């Protein structure tokens, strides 16, 4: 095996965000760019010689080429074995499953999640540790510092590997095992859920569903589980073939980007249950006939109905939500007598709580939900959880949600996204809000009086690490909230997210449209932050 030492110079833009490093494909195709970042990962890791690494991705454009580089660098750096999903495919939750099942050293996941794919669009890479979850901030920060100092990287000179044939190959002194990307994950789902009950529901003749894989990574997983193992009708899985450009679509499972599914779920003859997942399989959208379930409500409903699902029937240790996620789950936790943790956005913050056994379910308002079965959010898992609940309760989705609101109350909630705005303008907006938080307490705006305004800071209850500047919160004395946060998942400009929430317990108002119920708060959110002044936008690009 001939190991080459390649001289390189640092790039100054390789700081990982909340979900790894994301840039345009053309940036990653810049000579040495990907290799620099991969070597920076290896330079930070310790005692991995001879151990096993898991590698795979969502199949987007540049996935295969990047995998070949990573394999050759892993061999040069002394890994003993790499496990790769056939065709370079591994959904993000499946990668976590494989890391945990085979107790590997860690894994590298190639994905830009819900971002568009194609030669002119997005690519991403992140490192997951031995627990199967995203690397914590101390590791990602160390990787970034390495990327600013790197002068060389190691790579073997060898022909490209065959990624499409299951079995073992040799790359220098390193074994490369091509694995079925679906089987381990599907087996785990069969252990968690009541497949007999779901199989009976799907074969009853009175129930139908549609799952939109959005030409992304979950297609093969959904086809194997829903159509093969559970016996759903052929065609239940829509857009099931993973494509490098996702068929030209935006693989983000929300009302704006899954319009075809939303249209399918509308009308008297619509299916009973609809769902979608995103580019790398870690997000989900849940729909009933003529009914949309917000991610915040979905998390609360899963917790409230967990006793109906075999894998969670013994009870929940606790639950957690990201700070911008609605407080619907808090109500359920209080009723169940369990702890509810509030963390910053980013799945890595749930990892310590999961590893410590303090929580069982967790989720974010950005269409991500998960549990202690892996250390990533898991889109298809959430769909199966819902399907299990429907199989037991035998009620329409809308009826289940309405009964939940009547029992626990409703947190009327919306998120407004201002996408691709000037990074400087968005930063200035956040900075002026940050400077004003101390003076907002006690101020009244129409019917709303500010009880507290702050910049959310989080102290991890397991390792005592502190994460500051996690979003501006304005809390009102009637329980309403406005939260402002810059997203870390985009690759162009900045995305300002504004989260607006108001509790509602009046039975006559529980089913009102959120945009109408929250109209005054929505207007107030734009006024307080001077959104038009700093971004030039008079309305959000996406409302969910």
Q: What residues act catalytically?
A: 113
Taking the C-alpha atoms of residue 508 and residue 111, their distance in angstroms, rounded to an integer, is: 44
The closest of 405, 404, 417, 410 to 367, measured between CA atoms, is 417
Phi-psi domain of 117 (left: phi exceeds 0; alpha: psi -120 through 50; beta: other): beta
Map tokens 């003749």 to a residue. 205
Phi, psi of 539, rounded to the nearest 5 degrees: -155, 155
DSSP line for 166-223: -EEEEETTEEEEEE-TTHHHHHHHHHHS-HHHHHHHHTSSS--EEEE-TTSTHHHHHI
379-393 and 92-101 helices, crossing angle to 10°: 90
Taking the C-alpha atoms of residue 425 and residue 430, their distance in angstroms, rounded to an integer, is: 9
Taking the C-alpha atoms of residue 70 and residue 37, their distance in angstroms, rounded to an integer, is: 10
Phi, psi of 214, rounded to the nearest 5 degrees: 55, 35
Contact partners, residue 223, CB within 8 Å, separation at least 6: 237, 240
Taking the C-alpha atoms of residue 426 and residue 431, their distance in angstroms, rounded to an integer, is: 9
CB contact at 8 A, 500 and 482:
yes
Burial class of residue 390 (count of CB atoms within 10 Å of its CB; 0-12, 13-18, 19+): buried
Phi, psi of 33, rounded to the nearest 5 degrees: -60, -55
**Tokens representing 397?**
């989705």
**Sheet arrangement for strand 209-212:** 237-238, 209-212, 273-277, 284-288, 291-293
Phi, psi of 330, rounded to the nearest 5 degrees: -60, -40
């Amino acid at each position: 095996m001939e190991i080459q030492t390649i001289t390189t110079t640092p790039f100054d833009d390789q700081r990982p965000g909340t979900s790894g490093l994301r840039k345009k494909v053309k940036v990653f195709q810049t000579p040495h760019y990907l290799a620099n970042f991969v070597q920076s990962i290896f330079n930070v890791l310790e005692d991995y010689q001879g151990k096993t690494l898991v590698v795979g991705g969502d199949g987007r454009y540049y996935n295969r080429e990047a995998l070949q580089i990573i394999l050759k660098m892993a061999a040069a750096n002394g890994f003993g074995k790499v496990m790769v999903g056939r065709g370079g495919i591994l959904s993000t939750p499946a990668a976590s499953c494989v890391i945990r099942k085979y107790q590997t050293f860690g894994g590298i996941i190639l994905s830009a999640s819900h971002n568009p794919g194609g030669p002119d669009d997005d690519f991403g890479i992140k490192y997951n540790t031995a627990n199967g979850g995203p690397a914590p901030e101390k590791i990602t920060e160390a990787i970034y510092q390495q990327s600013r100092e790197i002068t060389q990287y190691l790579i073997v000179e060898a022909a490209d590997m065959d990624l499409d044939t299951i079995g073992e190959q040799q790359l220098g002194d390193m074994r490369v095992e091509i694995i079925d990307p679906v089987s381990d994950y599907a087996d785990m789902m069969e252990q968690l859920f009541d497949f007999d009950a779901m199989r009976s529901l799907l074969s009853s003749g009175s129930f139908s569903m549609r799952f939109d894989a959005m030409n992304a990574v979950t297609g093969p997983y959904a086809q194997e589980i829903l159509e093969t193992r559970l016996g759903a009708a052929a065609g239940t899985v829509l857009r099931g073939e993973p494509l490098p450009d996702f068929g030209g679509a935006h693989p983000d499972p929300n009302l704006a980007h899954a319009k075809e599914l939303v249209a399918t779920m509308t009308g008297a003859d619509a299916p009973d249950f609809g769902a979608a997942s995103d580019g790398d399989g870690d997000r989900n959208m849940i729909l009933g006939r003529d009914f949309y379930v917000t991610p915040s409500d979905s998390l609360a409903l899963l917790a409230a109905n967990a006793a109906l699902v075999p894998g969670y029937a013994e009870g929940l240790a606790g639950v957690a939500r990201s700070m911008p996620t609605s407080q619907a789950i808090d109500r359920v936790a209080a009723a169940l007598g369990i702890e509810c943790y509030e963390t910053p956005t980013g799945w890595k913050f749930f990892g310590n709580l999961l590893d410590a056994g303090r929580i069982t379910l967790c989720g974010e308002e950005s269409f991500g939900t998960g549990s202690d079965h892996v250390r990533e959010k898991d889109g298809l898992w959430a769909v199966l959880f819902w399907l299990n609940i429907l199989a037991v309760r035998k009620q329409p989705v809308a009826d289940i949600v309405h009964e939940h609101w009547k029992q626990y109350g409703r947190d009327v909630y919306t998120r407004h996204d201002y996408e691709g705005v000037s990074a400087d303008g968005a930063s200035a907006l956040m900075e002026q809000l940050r400077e004003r938080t101390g003076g907002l307490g006690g101020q009244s705006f129409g019917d709303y009086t500010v009880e507290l305004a702050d910049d959310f800071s989080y102290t991890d209850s397991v390792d005592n690490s502190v994460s500051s500047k996690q979003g501006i919160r304005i809390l009102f004395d009637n329980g309403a909230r406005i939260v402002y946060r810059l997203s870390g998942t985009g690759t162009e400009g900045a995305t300002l997210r504004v989260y607006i929430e108001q509790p509602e317990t009046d039975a006559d108002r529980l089913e009102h449209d959120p945009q109408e119920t929250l109209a005054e708060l929505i207007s107030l959110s734009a006024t307080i932050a001077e959104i038009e002044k700093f971004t030039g936008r008079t309305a959000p690009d996406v409302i969910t």
